[in-house]
Each structure stands twice: as C-alpha cells, then as structure tokens.
C-alpha cells in the first residue's frame, strides 16, 4: 500500500501507517480463522441451498469459508440502475476517496440520457468501505457505510465522512458482503453492478476470489474492478481475472491525480442555480429539517472540493430526488398525502393551509424548480459545446480517473441489459 516515491505533486499525503505488533497480527489471524470456521458450520445448509439454484454454474469449495445468506431481492416497480461502490479505505487510498467525493456527480450526469423502453430509470447507490483497521476484524475489515438509496445527498455525505486507516484489504469478502446484504432488485429493466477499487493483491482474506466472482454472476450482478496503480500490477495482482470471470470490466487508474474539469464561462451561473434550486425544497416529516440541512452541507462540501458545477447540474436532473423529506418530490412520487401530512412538521407559514392551498403551494414550487432546471439545461448544452472545443484543441493524455472508469463500464453494461443511451 505504499505510494511510489515519485508521487504526483499536490496529491493527498497519507498519514503514516500504524505498525501492528506481532501479537496483534497473531491474534487477528486466530480470530479470523476461528470465526470463519464457526460461520462455515452454521451457514452450511444455507450456502448449500443457495448453490443449488439452477441460475449458473458456481465453483464453491467443499467447505465454504464464509456464511452465504440468501440474497434479498426486491421487485423493481420501475427501471432501476443499482450501483454498489466498494472502496479500499486503507492508509494509501486518500486519493481514491477524494476522486469518489468529487466525481460522484459526474457519474450521475452521465446517465441523463439513459432510458428503458422510453422510461427513465431510477438510480440507487450503496457504499462500502474495506481494508480499514478502524473496522472490526470480525467483519473482515468490511463495513456497509450506506445501503441502497436513491437520495444521493446521503451518498455524498457518507463519502465525505470516510477516513483512511490500516489495513487488511479483503476484496473478495467485501463483494460477498455486498451481494448478500443489499436488497438487489430483479426483473426486466434492472442493471445491477458493483465497482470495487483498491491497490493491493486482490486475493486477501478468507473468501476465494473465484467464489466471490461466481456468486456475483449467479446473482446477476456484474463486478467491475478498478486497480489504483499500474495496469501490469493490477493484472498480476488478480484484478483483471476477478472482473473477466464475472463478465465485468477491469480498469487501472491513477488515484493520486486530481481530476478537474477545465473552467468554462458558464460554470458560475450553473453553480448559482444549483444553490438557488434549494429554495424550491419544502421539508416535511421527521426527516425534513435534517434533509434540508444535509442538502446545504453537501453544497458546501462540493463547493470546497471543486465539484459545485457537476453537483449543480445533477440537482436539475431526475436522478436527484428526495421524496423522504421534500414535500414536492414526496407528492410527485406518491410518498405523502397532503390531506394527512403532519402540519406541525411543515414550515410555520404552511401549517395553517388546507389541502387545496397546500397543493397550490407545492405546485408553484415544482414549477419554479422546473424553470431553474430548464435554465440549467440550456447552460449545460453551452458548457458541453465549450468543453468539446477545448478537448479538441487540448488533447488530454491523463490517466483514466475513477469516474471515467465507472462511466465507461456503466454505458456498455446498461446497453447490454436493454437500456438505451442517447447518442446526442
């Protein structure tokens, strides 16, 4: 996990890794071995039943090394893209975490033209960290940070709360945890993908990498691997094999290079509209105040990190939705009834309104939001044209970044799953 001596100037400097004593390493080994044996004994009937499903051929050791609870599937009510992002948060991964924070909205915006039989899908994102010594060894140093959610401010908040420490990078175990803990949807019009990123040998921990890949394939989940370092090292370290065995894509990126879009004459106006649109949000229920506060907090986080423009574009698109706390989205998606909504949870000026007056207020805020989104879309077209001209005049020889890898795989895999991507 050490960086090369010639690391990129300006890249985040990792904190010194804490040395672990031989006694600590011995204890971790004993704990992991005994825990794996116990879980294998308890989970054998479940694992055997799971493997018996005639979905695909699965290569599993005679004695499984980790419990394999049955995946929890939820029927998709509309086309859905589910993305589980598994990030190595050991000591040397500060650059990777920075790219995930700042380029999340770039990935979201790349899906704007995707449809399934003419219907725009919903996007659900989950986040895991692995390889962090702050996470219990009993959990394999793997932690679910955020389950699947369509409310992307929750994902942004989770990314900005990540810290690096340690560690022991059990990549296959992280995949298996995500497969069996997350509520993956089924049916037509569903794309299920995992992105796992790290910089060590892929095979670490108690779960064989081939078993993790085969379980993903049997569950209809595509695993894409992203190695942070030289491509040759990723190949020799098993990252390409882990992806191709499952039908996924392998990428090698420079995690320590900070990706920044060239400035354009339209950026300031887009960023301002991204903040102005907040005035159209109306908090309600137990999550109303928290949702509004987190929305502003993520605006601030992204402004400081240089991603305010991409976030401003995302907030004008259909993937940015907050029905659990915003009255406008809640009404649009049928999550709240204006006749029965708790008036005490609304802003003071709205608490005395009857259902008809409240509906008129919500409709007005929705119209304002649509107008801001339309202005943002016009600016985005101009910005994209400017960036195309800039790219033609200034060829970019930089290494692939995290968002570029994710966008490349998502586009191809969405088309393979029957989604349509507009070429305009």
Residue 1 lies in a domain: no
Q: Which residue has the tokens 């207020």?
A: 361
Please say if the pLDDT value at position 270 is more than 50: yes
Higher-pLDDT residue of 44, 164:
164
| Range with the poorest average pLDDT among 324-338, 384-398, 409-423 | 384-398
Same domain, 100 and 246: yes
Average pLDDT estimate for 266-289: 97
Least confident range of 10-24, 156-170, 229-243, 320-334: 10-24
Q: Average pLDDT over the chain, rounded to whole?
A: 85
CB 110 within 8 A of CB 407: yes
Same domain for 340 and 281: yes
pLDDT score recorded for residue 43: 40
Q: Which of 24-38, 82-96, 215-229, 287-301 has the lowest mean pLDDT?
A: 24-38
pLDDT at 280 over 80: yes
Mean pLDDT in residue range 145-163? 97
Q: How far apart are CA 329 and CA 373, in angstroms?
A: 14
In a domain, 138, yes or no: yes
Residue 2 lies in a domain: no
- Does 31 have pLDDT greater than 60? no
The whole-number pLDDT of residue 200 equals: 94
Q: Are residues 249 and 271 in the same domain?
A: no
CA distances from 146 to 164, 175, 251, 322 (A): 17, 15, 24, 16
Structural domain contains residue 9: no
Residues 69, 215 share a domain: yes
Closest residue by Cα to residue 308 from 355, 352, 284, 276: 276
Domain that holds residue 352: 267-397
Average pLDDT over residues 164-177: 92
Q: How confident is the model at residue 89 (pLDDT cuts 50, 70, 90)?
A: very high
What would the pLDDT profile of 356-401 be if each residue is shown by its tens digit?
Answer: 999 999 999 999 999 999 999 999 999 999 999 998 887 766 668 9
**Are 356 and 417 found together in one domain?**
no
Rounded CA-CA distance 175/191 in Å is: 17
Q: 243 and 319: one domain?
A: no
Query: 396 or 42: which carries more pLDDT confidence?
Result: 396
How many angstroms from the chain centroid is the CA of residue 314?
A: 15
Average pLDDT over residues 23-27: 47
What is the value of pTM for the model shown? 0.81
In a domain, 229, yes or no: yes
Answer whether residue 41 shows pLDDT above 50.
no
Instruction: Confirm whether 8 is domain-assigned.
Output: no
Residues 272 and 334 in one domain: yes
CA–CA separation, 419 and 7 (whole Å): 40
pLDDT value of position 149: 97
d(CA 85, CA 162): 13
Residue 11 lies in a domain: no
Residue 6's pLDDT band (cuts 50, 70, 90) = very low
In a domain, 132, yes or no: yes
pLDDT (tens digit per residue) in 92-101: 899 999 999 9
Whether residues 204 and 275 fall in one domain: no
- Rounded to 5 degrees, φ, ψ at 119 are -105, 135
* % of the chain with per-residue pLDDT over 70: 81
How far, in Å, CA of 352 to CA of 344, rounded?
9
> What is the structure's pLDDT at 69?
42
289 and 205 within one domain = no
In this prediction, residue 58 carries a pLDDT of: 31
Same domain, 273 and 337: yes
Asked if the model's pLDDT at residue 308 lies above 80, the reply is: yes
Which pLDDT belongs to residue 395?
Answer: 76
* pLDDT tens-digit map of 181-194: 999 999 889 999 99
**How many folded domains does the chain comprise?**
2
315 pLDDT band, cuts 50/70/90, is: very high
pLDDT value of residue 259? 80
Residues 295 and 238 occupy one common structural domain: no
Q: What integer pLDDT is reported at residue 65 of this predicted model? A: 40
Q: What is the pLDDT of residue 396?
A: 67
- In this structure, the answer to whether residues 283 and 222 fall within a common structural domain is no
Averaged pLDDT, 266-280? 97
d(CA 288, CA 284): 4
Residues 6+ apart with CB under 8 A from 182: 72, 82, 84, 126, 144, 147, 148
Q: What is the CATH number of the domain that holds 146?
A: 3.40.50.410
Beta strands 122-130 and 80-88 are: parallel
């Amino acid at each position: 996990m050490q960086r090369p001596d010639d690391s990129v100037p300006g890249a985040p400097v990792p904190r010194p890794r804490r040395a672990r004593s031989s006694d600590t390493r011995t204890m971790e080994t004993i704990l992991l071995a005994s825990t794996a044996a116990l879980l294998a004994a308890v989970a054998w009937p479940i694992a055997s039943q799971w493997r018996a499903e005639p979905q695909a051929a699965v290569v599993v050791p005679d004695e499984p090394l980790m419990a394999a609870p049955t995946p929890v599937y939820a029927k998709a009510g509309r086309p859905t893209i589910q993305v589980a992002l598994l990030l190595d948060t050991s000591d040397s991964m500060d650059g990777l975490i920075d790219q995930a924070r700042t380029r999340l909205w770039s990935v979201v915006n790349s899906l704007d033209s995707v449809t399934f039989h003419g219907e725009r899908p919903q996007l659900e994102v989950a986040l895991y960290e692995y390889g962090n010594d702050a996470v219990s060894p009993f959990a394999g140093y793997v932690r679910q940070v955020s389950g699947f959610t369509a409310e992307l401010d929750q994902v942004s908040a989770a990314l900005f709360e990540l810290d690096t420490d340690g560690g022991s990078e059990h990549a296959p175990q992280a995949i298996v945890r995500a497969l069996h803990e997350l509520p993956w949807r089924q049916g037509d019009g569903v794309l299920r993908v995992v992105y796992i990123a790290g910089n060590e040998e892929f095979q670490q921990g108690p779960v064989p990498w081939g078993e993790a890949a085969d379980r993903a394939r049997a569950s209809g989940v595509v695993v894409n691997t992203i190695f942070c370092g030289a491509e040759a090292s990723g190949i020799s370290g098993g990252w390409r094999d882990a992806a191709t065995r499952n039908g996924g894509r392998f990428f090698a990126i420079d995690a320590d290079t900070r990706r920044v879009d060239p400035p354009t004459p339209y950026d300031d106006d887009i960023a301002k509209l991204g903040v102005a649109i907040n005035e159209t949000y109306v908090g309600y229920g137990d999550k109303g105040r928290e949702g509004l506060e987190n929305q502003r907090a993520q605006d601030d986080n992204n402004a400081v990190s240089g991603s305010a423009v991409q976030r401003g574009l995302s907030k004008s698109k259909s993937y940015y939705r907050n029905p659990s706390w915003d009255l406008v989205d809640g009404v649009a998606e049928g999550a709240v009834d204006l006749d029965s909504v708790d008036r005490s949870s609304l802003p003071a000026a709205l608490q005395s309104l009857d259902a008809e007056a409240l509906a008129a207020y919500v409709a007005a805020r929705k119209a304002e939001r649509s107008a801001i989104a339309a202005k943002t879309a016009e600016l985005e077209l101009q910005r994209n044209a400017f960036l195309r001209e800039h790219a033609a005049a200034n060829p970019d020889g930089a290494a692939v970044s995290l968002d570029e890898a994710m966008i490349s795989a998502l586009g191809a895999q969405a088309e393979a799953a029957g989604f349509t991507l507009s070429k305009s």
